[in-house]
Amino acid sequence: MAGKVFFSVSMSLDGFIAPESPEDLMGQQWMELHQWLFPQRYLRERLKLGEGGEEGRDNDIVRETFERTGASVMGKRMFDAGEHAWPEEAPFHTPVFVLTHEKRDPWERPGGTTFHFVNDGIESALGQAREAAGDRDVRIAGGGATIVEYVNAGLIDEFSIALSPVLFGSGIRLFEGVDAGRVALVPVHSEPSPRVTHLTYAVRKR
């Protein structure tokens, strides 16, 4: 049985998930947006940031998100930024399918992450990711434009947002360009934590 297709992102209160410029992806705003994430014990272990870290519901959610994911799909912009920012052992530990026009051989990293470069569209990338994931879920990792492409194509089953108490004012909005007339959302779960509010929705055709 195939798993779900989902995305999971941190979002500012005014609807942004990233700064406009890739050069600012490790800047202060981005760090504030993800201030709930980096102290978590599971993530620290996964990124080999050292021992210790927080345990609790936020940590459980991080672990559950990674454990359910059998493969990921991302856009070229996200890959280009991450290629220079991720550690040698990239944090995915699963196959990752990158949407691009570039012809490139698979790029294998230590720890089980292999990046595959897909030149023939979002449905092809998703099909390859589904096959690689088996009965686990496929995560649309981002960025925002890639997520919206999958939402507009009716290919997202559910999503989760960690709503962070920060304001960006400008940047990349999560749902910029969404075809809202074709998308209906069903609340599944909401859960506050000391740093963010976790919101989960199922996606249905309107």
Give the pLDDT band (50/70/90) at residue 108: very high
Domain limits, the chain: 5-205
Give the pLDDT band (50/70/90) at residue 1: low
Distance CA 195, CA 61 (A): 13
Indicate whether 23 pLDDT > 70.
no
Tokens 């709930």: give the residue. Answer: 36
Identify the DSSP state of 26: T
pTM: 0.93
State the pLDDT at residue 182.
92
Of 115, 124, 182, the residue nearest 148 (C-alpha): 182
E strand spans, 4-144? 5-12, 16-18, 69-75, 95-99, 107-108, 114-118, 137-142
CATH of domain 5-205: 3.40.430.10
State the pLDDT at residue 47.
82
State the pLDDT at residue 16.
95
Give the pLDDT band (50/70/90) at residue 85: confident
Q: What is the pLDDT of residues 140-198, one digit of tens each?
A: 999 999 999 999 999 999 999 999 999 999 999 999 999 999 999 999 999 999 999 99
